[in-house]
Structure 1
Amino acid sequence: MRVRTSKLARISGCNSSWFCAIPVLRIYEDREPSSRLISHRARTRAMSSLSPSEDAAAVLAWSISIPPKPLPAVDLIKRICIIDFDNTLYRSPVPSNIWDGPSIGILRDKDRLLGGGWWQTPSILDATIDRRVDPDINSQVNRERRYPDRWNKPIVDIALRADQNAHTLNVLLTGRNRNLFSKTMLRIMRNVGFAFDLIVLKQNHPQLGHEFTTTMEFKKCFISTLLSHYRKTERISIYEDRPGHSRQFRDFGDEFNNEVVRNPLVQPRVRFDVVQVQPAHRDLDPLEEIKQVKFMLQRHNKLAQTVDASSRPPPARLFKRVCHTSYMLSPETTHTLLVKFRLKPRLNPHEVDFFGRYIPIKMGKCEPSEIETLGGMGAQVQFETISFGSYSDYIWAVRVKPVGSKATVSTINTIPTIILAKRIDVTEAFVQRIENWEDVCPGDPRYLMFSATVGEQLQLQISVPRTTSQSTGVGLPRQRMLLDQPLG
């Protein structure tokens, strides 16, 4: 969520029963240049010429709720709760690690693909809806089936309590495009179990008709309109997952109250609390994610055909390449290793990547002759754990050895090694820095014997070459050298 916020001292001094920070929330701010502030004084003058009914209509014009939920009376509202949607209230999908880094950048860029990127493609959000469930059944069980693990439960609880408080206006505010996402958003919100007073998506200004250049400009303009109507608001709390937006909301709150000081008869000071929420997302099923990206590339290529030939962008293509050839562990084995070495309970999942999925043989693709010496693709080898080590809370790994005198293995490391976890800001090469290894022998609770399979780890790569005038990176000919075979 993004909202204006006052100083952290104001937040820490919160004594409200339901607005107090809950354990999963972290309150902090990140310095980021503020976008242009909307003048509260100008907004107040514009709204002051409206009658109460016109004033309420101006607020309702921002909402997509069908039918519109009647607004609470101005005298009734003392607090406003504004909740962001993506990765705050709802665990929206983001591009997963099945793509290489540059490809994730392409997907996130709204301008790289014709037709828009990941956040401008409604079918991706639609894919989070289980269509096998009858949409008219509103039981809690069916809601959970319809959106499995999609809701950020602590934020849902906050929204639910706000909905039940007669003196609180409950608002969902998102930068998703109104024209593209209204239908999907209403379908998602229909079965959440409560109703927001306002569901607001990014659009042109309802009264003035101008286009907002940024999401923050849109959100601040809406909040100004809201506060111009609810002039007796004492407190506004904004729940936001993006630190940069939190900082801009804080600046906006200070600007708002500076205007109030100069015009105390117009509106009292409002306490702005910006609560920084730990981002929460959930990936799509890999096959569904590939399907959605293929649709985006096909859309790009189709639209490219409508562009004049002299400026037509090259076609976008999807490739798969081999990241590494390894002895691949089953998901069950990976889970058992992480449980035995008790890493997940004591490491912060937001700072650490968990692995335990393979014993690397070679980076990239092995030659057929090399695969043959390993017993062929799909050959199985039995291993057992022999030691565990870590380096300065940066990387954790377990060493293994093949079981049986006839087993022949080849690995990158002299002693076959499985990286169990590493900090997100270090590379796998840090495993070479581990010096102190603890023996893990049969009888040790951490000891495990398991089977691994010779296989390849594939990663997907998108080729969307820039035109010559736009090129700032590798061109298509060089990029193709890095790729294996295109996906159909």
Structure 2
Amino acid sequence: MHSPIFSMLNFFDAHLKTMMRSNYFPRFIQKWRSCLHSDKLSKLDNFSPTIIRSQIQMDKSNELSLLTNALFKTLTAPEGKIVEFPELENTHNVQNTDITQSIQSEKTPLVINIFDFDGTLFSSPEPNPAIWENKLVGHLKNENVIFKGWYQDRRSLSFGNQDRLNNRWNYKLVNIVKNSMKAENTLTVLLTGRNYDEFHELITEMVERKGMRFDVMGFKPTNNIIDWRLYYKPNIIEKIGRDMYEKLIMNQTITGTQKLTTKEFKMHFIGDLISHHPPPISINIWEDRPNHFFAFEAYLEKLKSLGKIKEGTVHKVFLSKNFLEPFREYDIVMGMIKDHNYRSEQINLGKIGIVRKIQYAGIFFDQQVIDKLKRIYPPPTVNREWVFDGPYVLIKKNVSNEWLKLHCEGRGAIVTMKITGFGIYQNRIYCLQVSEYENSLEKTPIGMRCGKLFSDCPVPFINFAYVKGTEGFINTENINFNWIKYDKQIVVQGIIAAKYILGLE
């Protein structure tokens, strides 16, 4: 036969949630329950249990007896009556809150995993700098300069056949998302600066096709109001319960009157999300943009110092760029510019015109010459594959046809040069040093103009090969090599040509 105290304990457990909802008992009742569950008790007369071992440091020797009497008064009081306990004023602070926290955390995620979309989870296309000049690329990406902007225009994520998306997903991160989805104590969040009205259906469909179901999906609002009814997804009910879900979706946040940048929006969003779910043990953010990465690191450190989170980590992500098919990208950009110019007066922005410009001029070689150079001057052996992608000698960037005519005899002129040595830049770019051949005119085919070797680089060279998976020079004009001379120096010819690009008028 069970003792009265254990019978009362069972009764208390059975009615705990009801009493919590009724709000007619104070927080110290939880402390009484903690005492009974976490300590070994021995039954004594007068219904006064004695503590044999306790994790709770009692302020007074009779504290448990006071709590027991208070519980008895609560359970025997008429239904709905508010019971007060003035004798327990000094015992109101609960020192051991393990039970309280476990009750709160049963339906509250303790880990929040936040995933950026563009360039992090998915290699989204962006304007190709091989087609558009850098200034125009900057305009296309800036929604404050051009109507909508690339990342707010639905066409930037229009692919047609979904099979074309397979090589764009970051599968390592996709697996992390799926593991996060399965964790009961974890919120899985997608957070993007793309506009809700334009993209929420499209991106939701894309991620669900890959088997990802997020608890929260955050998109930048149109009207500076973060309406959480749009962002909390019904599948989160399995983790937090319907009551809490219904409460959370009632929240709205006004972020101000000024249009927010993506970084500012994400800061507001994360701050509000954290306030909905106290206390998250840790927050993880996956992000690709360097300025966002450092801003989020500083923000999480601030939250830690304020005691709002215990841990916060930002994970840097790098995905290789993956552009659209050039003709499709051209159609998208020209459509964006057409829409912008049509609305330019309404949105108080000037019209945009596109012209063809010379991105750079160089001396280029036919395939026969390239094969000869590869055979005679092969690059050194490396762990990865060398790529020969249109070797050329850089003459100058952003030049005019008039300048080329004045300094090099213009496009179409033949330049005769001698290979004198080689150099390797950062173990990833292989270049061949060249100098002008003394008898160039004699070597020039009949009917062709004899061009001059000219380069903005300190020493003219052929940008010959690069290691697969690496990028080329950022600024070739300031590159200096430790050139190694060749004993065998052959003579080759190339033609002056220009790489054209589309830019602002």
Q: Supply the distance in 2 between the matched residues of 1:375 and 1:306 (Cα, whole angstroms).
A: 45
Q: Does 1:243 align with 2:290?
A: yes
Equivalent residues of 1:358, 1:418 under 8 A apart: yes
CA distance in structure 1 between the aligned counterparts of 2:161 and 2:426, rounded to whole angstroms: 48
TM-score by length of 1: 0.58
Distance 2:279 2:106 in 1: 7
Tell me the residue number matched to 1:132: 161
Structure 2 CA distance, aligned partners of 1:331 and 1:192? 43
Deviation at 1:297, TM superposition (A): 1.3
Q: Per the alignment, do residues 330 and 238 of structure 1 end up closer, same or farther by CA in structure 2, a change over 3 Å counting?
A: farther
- For the 8 Å contact 1:239–1:275, the answer to whether it is kept is yes
Partner Cα distance (2:201, 2:366) in 1: 40
Cross-structure match for 1:276 = 316
Q: Give 2:121's match in structure 1, choosing from 83, 89, 107.
A: 89
Distance 2:426 2:166 in 1: 37
Residue 460 of structure 1 corresponds to: 502
Give me the CA root mean square deviation.
4.7
Listed as ranges, the matches of 1:128-207 within 5 Å are: 129=159, 131-133=160-162, 145-203=163-221, 204-206=225-227, 207=251
Q: Distance in 1 between matches of 2:174 and 2:418?
A: 45
Provide the C-alpha distance between the structure 2 equivalents of 1:107 and 1:81, rounded to a whole number of angstroms. 31
1:192 deviation in Å?
1.8
Q: Distance in 2 between matches of 1:109 and 1:354?
A: 34
Query: 3-state SS of the aligned residue for 2:168?
Result: coil
Question: Partners of 1:175 and 1:375 in 2: how far apart?
Answer: 47
Query: CA distance change for structure 1 residues 316 and 215 in 2, over 3 Å: closer, same or farther?
Result: closer
CA contact (8 A) 2:415 2:453 kept: no
Hey, what does 1:59 align to over in structure 2? none
The corresponding residue for 2:137 is 104
1:201: Cα distance to partner? 1.1
* TM-superposed deviation, 1:165: 3.2
Shift in CA distance, 304/282, structure 1 to aligned 2, threshold 3 Å: same
Amino acid at match of 2:138: G
Pairwise CA distance, 1:423? 8.8
Of stretches 379-388 and 227-236 in structure 1, the one that deviates more from structure 2 is: 379-388
Match of 2:112 in 1: 80
Q: CA deviation at 1:327?
A: 3.5
Alignment-mate amino acid for residue 299 of structure 1? D
Range with bigger deviation, 412-421 or 191-200: 412-421
Q: Which residue of the partner structure matches residue 43 of structure 1?
A: none
- Paired letter, 2:291: G
The structure with higher relative contact order (CA 8 Å, sep 6+) is 1
Instruction: State the shift of 1:259 in Å.
Output: 4.4
Q: Greater share of helix residues, 1 or 2? A: 2
Distance 1:110 1:436, change over 3 A: same
Distance 1:305 1:202, change over 3 A: closer
Aligned residue type for 1:109? N
State the partner residue of 1:316: 352
Code of the aligned partner of 2:119: N
SS in 2 for 1:174: strand
Supply the distance in 2 between the matched residues of 1:357 and 1:125 (Cα, whole angstroms).
Answer: 33
Q: Give the TM-score, by structure 2 length.
A: 0.56
Would the aligned equivalents of 1:109 and 1:117 in 2 still touch at CA under 8 Å? Answer: yes
Distance 1:382 1:290, change over 3 A: farther
Cα offsets for 1:322-363 (capped at 9, x unmatched):
2344343579969x96x953698689xxxxx99754234666
Question: How big is the shift at 1:303?
Answer: 0.5
Alpha-carbon offset, residue 458 of structure 1 = 0.3
Pairing of 1:400-439 with structure 2 (within 5 A): 405=443, 410-413=452-455, 417-420=461-464, 427-431=475-479, 433-434=480-481, 436-439=483-486
User: Is it true that 1:293 corresponds to 2:333 in the alignment?
Assistant: yes
Q: 1:330 to 1:90 in 2, by over 3 A?
A: farther
- Conserved 8 A contact 2:404-2:411: no
Give structure 2 stretches of 5+ with no counterpart.
1-104, 228-250
Residue type of the alignment partner of 1:399 = Q
Contact 1:324/1:365 (<8 A) preserved: no
Equivalent position to 1:399, from 421, 433, 444:
433
Q: CA deviation at 1:110?
A: 1.9
CA contact (8 A) 1:159 1:170 kept: yes
Identity, in percent, stands at 24
How far residue 319 of structure 1 moved from its aligned partner, in angstroms, is 0.6
Larger radius of gyration: 2
Cα deviation for residue 232 of structure 1 reads 5.2
- One-letter amino acid of the structure 1 residue matched with residue 421 of structure 2: S
Q: Deviations over 1:281-323 (max 9, x none)?
A: 322233222222211211111012557xxxx654311011123
